[in-house]
Amino acid sequence: MAAESLSAPTEPLVRALAAVTIACEDPAAMADLLVSAVGWELRARGALDEPLQRAWGIAPGSAGDDFVLLAAPGTDRGMLRIVRGTERRRSRPVAARWAGAEILVMRGIDTLFEGVSAHPAFTTLHAPFDMDWSEFGSNVHRAFIGQAPGGTHLAFTMALTQPEGRAFPEAAGPVGHVFDVPLITADFAAESRCLQHTLGMAPFLSSRFDGGPWHELWSLPPGTPVALDILKGDAPGTGLGGIELQGYPAAVIDPDAPPVDALDGGACLVTYTTADIDTAWQRIGAELGPTVFAEPVVIAAPPYDGRRTFCCCLPGGARLEICEL
């Protein structure tokens, strides 16, 4: 489809974060971490058939033969899908493209940390700590962060206060769904334009800073400028999943290029739902052109269950999948 310039959509083309796909050398270890230490459920197993691999734009067999799909009890949003792949190596403070997943914790985060940090598939990067984002319109929360198979950064976050004027996400159990996915870029303007102008996503938190706890957390050189926007689709509130767009100077981002016909190691594909896949397909195809891999195709396996999906690459190479509700 030829690229053309379109005005921004009046409503977001995407709604909820359905799943984050993680590629790693040991899918069984990743699944066991989520089930035995986090308390998630095995939701489905399935084959990575040829139509799905074509939709993702990957070489046959490059992500293994099958997948497992895991979810927090009581929800079919913010799930994690695990496939076979490489490990993501980080030589600089932050990695380009999708960097991991942030999981909602409703209660007992320190007890959860004890169990998760004891699991052999999890390497602690930071024990539970409090961070105050109230000056940016968010909340005070408590979180811990570690590295899981695939080089995936997993953050577990529990609210200590509520943001003024909007509710922090909620879940039925002590540990809920993935509610944020970090997208790392050295070209913040290009990624922001794509998410806001092409997809129509709306930022509900924006911050700019060059020091403080964030820099200590990620070992950033003092004075490194950081731009951070959290954007959402057309679902109400914030609980159905946001993209946390993070902009940094190229010098602190891993220089690895996105694979052409394979998935990144670790967090490698983010799947959002849409209420109008035909409009989404037409608009994204017009705006992003050759980075859209194929027309929408029906996929029988979960989480599609007979609905259509298609996949594209954002400006920095991160794979984004759009699936029918």
Kindly report, residue by residue over 237-256, the tens digit of the pLDDT: 777 899 999 999 999 999 88
How confident is the model over 20-40, as pLDDT tens digits? Answer: 999 999 999 999 999 999 999
What is the C-alpha separation between 296 and 319, in angstroms, rounded? 15
Q: What are phi and psi of 281, to 5 degrees?
A: -60, -45
How confident is the model over 191-224, as pLDDT tens digits? Answer: 999 999 999 999 988 999 999 989 999 999 999 9
CATH of region 17-324: 3.10.180.10
How confident is the model over 140-193, as pLDDT tens digits? Answer: 999 999 999 999 999 999 999 998 878 889 999 999 999 999 999 999 999 999
For residue 110, give both structure tokens: 């320190």
Inform me whether the pLDDT recorded for 75 exceeds 90.
yes
Average pLDDT over residues 285-313: 94
